[in-house]
Structure 1
Amino acid sequence: MQSPLFQHTEQQSADRYTLQNAQMLRVSLSGHDDVLARKGSMVAYQGLIEFDGEYQSRGQQRSRSHTGEGLDLMRCSGQGSVFLANLAQYVHVVDVDHDGLTVDSAYVLALDSGLHHEVIAVDSQYGISGSGKYQLNITGSGKVALMTSGQPLMVQVTPDKYVNADADAIVAWSSSLRVQMQAQTHSSGVWRRRGSTGEGWELSFLGQGYALVQPSEVLPPQNVQIGQGIRAQYGMGQQGAYGQNRNNAWN
C-alpha cells in the first residue's frame, strides 16, 4: 500500500510531551507520572494505558457550580503513549513556573498531575461572554498543553507597555499581571457594543509578563442557527448561541 498519508507518521522523541503535528499531542507515560487530560480528548494510545475520571473535591464542585469555570478531566496512567486532540485546534505546550498561568478552562487540553489549579475572579462586576468573571489559575512546576483556534500571538507586557486584548480572543496570561476589564465606549448602555464597530469588552494587562491571544473571537459551531435581536447578538437567553446549542462540544 502506498499513499502520501505515510508522510504523517509518529514523531519520535524522548520528551514527555511531543507535538505530532500542529493539532495533535503525544504524551509519554512511564508508570509513575500520570497526566490529566480533557475528557474525551484521547484519539489513540499505545501500551498499557488506563483512563479514569478525575475526582473533584466538594470545594471544586461548589466552585464549578457557582462560577461555571472548571476542568472536566480524565486521569491517564500506565506505561505507553497517549495521543490527544480536540476539534482539530492548534496545540501548544507551556512550561508553568513560579509565576503561574491564568487561563480559560475551555483552552486546556492536558496538564501534569502535580500542578494545582483553582478558580479565581477577574476584575469585573459583569458576567459577559468570552472571558467572563472567572478564570483558572494554574500553579506549581510542570507543563500545560493549551489549545487555540488558529495560530496565536504571544504579546509581551512590560511596565512601560501595557496591552489590551479582546475578552473574546484572550486565551491565557501570566498570573503576575494585573488585570482590569473595561469597555471603552461612548454609549450610555453598558451592554451596547462600541458604536457600530462590533468591539466591546477588553482585558487590560499591566506589569511584567505575557498574554496569549488567538485569531478567533469565541464563535459558535459552524452552520448553527442563531436567534435575532440584541439578546442573540450577545449570546444571552434562549435566543443566543448558548441557549440554542446546549450539550454540544463548544459549551
Structure 2
Amino acid sequence: MRSALFSAENLEKESAQPGMRLQNSKMLKIELNGECMARVGAMVAYQGQVQFQALGSGGIGKFLKQKLTGEGVPLMKMTGRGDVFLADLASDVHLIDLEPGDALSINGSSVLAFDSTLQYDIRMVQGMGMLSAAGLFNCVFTGQGRIAVTTKGTPVVLNVDQPTFVDPQAAVCWSANLQTGYHRAEQMGLGTLLGRRTGEAFTMSFAGQGFVVVQPSEEPPVQGSGQQQSSGGLGGLLGG
C-alpha cells in the first residue's frame, strides 16, 4: 500500500528514554514507565498496559477550590508501561521544563499533561481588583519536571523587562514571580478594542522580570472555565 500518509514525518516517534515528547505540533506522546497526570478526555490513542484513573481536580482541597473558583484542571492519572498520545482539539502543544525554584502560573484550560513530580495549587491572581470572565484564579506549578501546555495558534513569548499589557483572555501562562494588575482599557485610550469578544473593557498588566506567553486567540468566557474538557472517543469516556 502506498500513500504520502505513510511518510516518515507521520510515523510514530521512537525514543529510548521515557517521558513526554512531541509527536507533532498538535499531539503529545508520553512514553509511560510509571505514572503521569493528564487532562481528562485528552487521550486519543495508547499502546501497551496503561490504566487510567479520573482524579477530579487532584485531591479534595483542589476540588473544593475548583468549585469555589471555577478554575482548575480536571485530571486523570495514567499508570503502567506503554505509549499514550494526547491532544486537545488540534491545539498547538508546547513543552516546558521546570527546575527547582521555578514557578509557572497558567490558565487551567491550557494544561494538557504534566509529570507527577510537579506540584500545583489554585491561587488568586494578584492585583485582581475587579471580577472578569478571565477569572480570579490560576494554577501555579512548582517543582522539577515537564509540563505540556496548549495554545490556540502559534504564541508569542514576551520578555517582561518593561511594563507589559495583555488581553486577559489571550494570556496563557507567565512567570509566577511577576507582579500582575488590571487596568481599564478606557484609561489607556483603547476604548472597546480589547476584549471585543468578551465585553471586558480592561487589560492585564505585568511587571518585574520574567515572561508571559500570549496566544493569537481569545478564550471565550465560560462559566467554570476549569471544567472545560476535550471530548472525543474513548478519552472522553475515561473522564466519565
Larger RCO of the pair (alpha carbons < 8 Å, separation 6+): 2
Q: Displacement, 1:137?
A: 0.7
1:142 aligned onto 2:145: yes
Q: What SS does structure 1 have at the residue aligned with 2:186?
A: coil
Q: Please name the residue that 1:125 is paired with.
A: 129
How high is the sequence identity, in percent, across the aligned residues? 35
Q: Structure 1 residues 248, 84: closer, same or farther in 2, change over 3 A?
A: closer
Q: Post-superposition shift, 1:194? A: 4.5
CA contact (8 A) 1:126 1:132 kept: no
Give the drift of 1:14: 3.2
Partner of 2:4: 4
Alpha-carbon distance between aligned partners in 2 of 1:247 and 1:83, rounded to the nearest angstrom = 19
Q: Deviations over 1:178-212 (max 9, x none)?
A: 1112223149xxxxx95343453221111111100
Gaps of 5+ in 1: 188-192, 220-234, 236-240
Q: Which has the higher strand share?
A: 2
When the two chains are superposed, the root-mean-square deviation of aligned CA atoms in Å is 2.4
> Do the aligned partners of 2:185 and 2:191 also contact (CA within 8 Å) in 1?
no
Q: Which residue of 1 aligns with 2:238?
A: none
> Cα distance 1:196–1:162, how it changes in 2: closer, same or farther (>3 A)?
closer
Asked whether the 8 Å contact 1:171–1:214 carries over to 2, the reply is: yes
Opposite residue 138 of structure 1, the aligned amino acid is F
Q: 2:191 is matched by which residue type in structure 1? A: G
Work out the number of aligned pairs and report it.
Answer: 218
1:151 aligns with 2:187: no
Per-residue CA deviation, residues 56-105 of structure 1 (Å, 9 max, x unaligned), is 43322221111111110100110111000010000000012212100000
1:27 corresponding residue in structure 2: 30
Contact kept, 8 Å, 2:41 with 2:229, in 1: the verdict is no
Of the two, which has the highest radius of gyration? 1
TM-score by length of 1: 0.80
Confirm or deny that 1:195 pairs with 2:191: yes
- Equivalent-residue separation in structure 2 for 1:141 and 1:184 (angstroms): 38
What is the rounded CA distance, in whole Å, between the counterparts of 2:53 and 2:229 in structure 1? 22
Q: How far does residue 165 in structure 1 lie from its aligned partner after superposition? A: 0.9
CA drift of 1:248 comes to: 7.5
Alignment of 1:2-151 (within 5 A): 2-7=2-7, 8-15=10-17, 16-30=19-33, 32=34, 34-54=35-55, 56-97=58-99, 98-122=101-125, 123-129=127-133, 131-151=134-154
Return closer, same or farther for 1:29/1:248 CA change in 2, 3 Å cut-off. closer
Q: 1:91 & 1:247 partners in 2: Cα distance?
A: 17
Q: Amino acid of the residue matched to residue 217 of structure 1?
A: E
Q: Deviations over 1:135-191 (max 9, x none)?
A: 111111111100000011111112xx131111010000011111112223149xxxx
Give SS of 1:185's match.
Answer: helix
Distance 2:205 2:216 in 1: 18
Q: Tell me if the contact between 2:50 and 2:81 (Cα under 8 Å) persists in the aligned partners.
A: yes
Amino acid at match of 1:113: S
| Equivalent position SS for 1:210 | strand
TM-score scaled by structure 2?
0.83
Aligned residue identity for 1:79: R
Residues 141, 196 of structure 1: CA spacing in aligned structure 2 closer, same or farther, 3 A cutoff? closer
More deviation in 4-13 or 72-81?
4-13
Cα pair distance change 1:242/1:102, threshold 3 Å? closer
**In the alignment, which residue of structure 2 is the partner of 1:171?**
172
Name stretches of at least 5 consecutive residues in structure 2 with no aligned partner.
196-200, 232-240
Identify if the C-alpha distance between structure 1 residues 54 and 196 changes in structure 2 by more than 3 Å, giving closer, same or farther. closer
* Deviation at residue 249 of structure 1 after TM alignment: 5.0
Match in the other structure for 1:206: 207
